[in-house]
Amino acid sequence: MCELLAMSANVPTDICFSFSGLMQRGGNTGPHKDGWGITFYEGKGCRSFKDPLPSAASPIAKLVTEYPIKSQSVVCHIRQANSGGISLENTHPYTRQIWGRHWTYAHNGQLQDVHNKLNVKYHIPVGETDSEFAFCWLLDQIHLKYKDKQPDDVELFRYVAELSEQLNEYGVFNIIITNGECLFAYCSNNLHWITRKAPFGKASLIDAEMEVNFNHETTDKDIVTVIATQPLTHNEEWQKMSKGQWQLFKLGCSIASSETVE
């Protein structure tokens, strides 16, 4: 199984600390050695770094840990291949355009026979993975439902949640999706999240000998939410998502969830 990492923040923030821990799970402290990728948003633009090499041994991953790119939305993935070969085109996250914005997606899990049971027409996969195929199908359904009239954020991602539930019927479908403004997470069996805000404290990574005092790196107005497959620190209280639960974040804050009262 792969591992996911994402961030939503109300101010441009780097993810070097969290990524430094996650990258070790790509072939060092974990078995996810079949490639990795990360996408940072800067306004409506985004930049991606990908490598089919294990993240723990990747010079590009080392660059990312040392290059403090400031972003308000980030999606990251380390891969343990189970569908599609080890190659750049099969490396998450995947990015496509809809309504003039880049949408980025990463998946943890395996979906059985989706290539034969579901159809895609408008967003054709580049690689071979069940993950990318599911993303293309999901975007097709959004296009067919809304055409060129984008709904408000909560309505849109409630529909994404409905589509995620359908895809989850084919296997395991833990996902992160962002359009650069909203960050959506759906849990099939394993996702955790934490929101850091004042008063900030210290955090220590599980997978690397690294500690940071966020009180020295932030202001009292900063809000940063991090989502990961497994907690990345051992001295903070992470929230474990339950099966079928989803969360929608914007600027670091939760704006809707499967538990939101209508």
Angle among Cα 104, 109, 112 to the nearest 5 degrees reads 110
- The one catalytic residue in 2, 46, 182, 187 is 2
What is d(CA 80, CA 2) in angstroms, rounded to the nearest whole number?
5
Other Cβ atoms closer than 10 A to 165? 15
Contact in structure between 203 and 236 (CB atoms under 8 Å): yes
Angle between helices 153-168 and 130-146 (to 10 degrees): 140
In the residue annotation, 2 being an active-site residue is answered as yes
Residue 206 CA neighbour count, 13 Å, CB half:
14
- Tokens 């409506």 map to which residue? 44
State the catalytic residues: 2
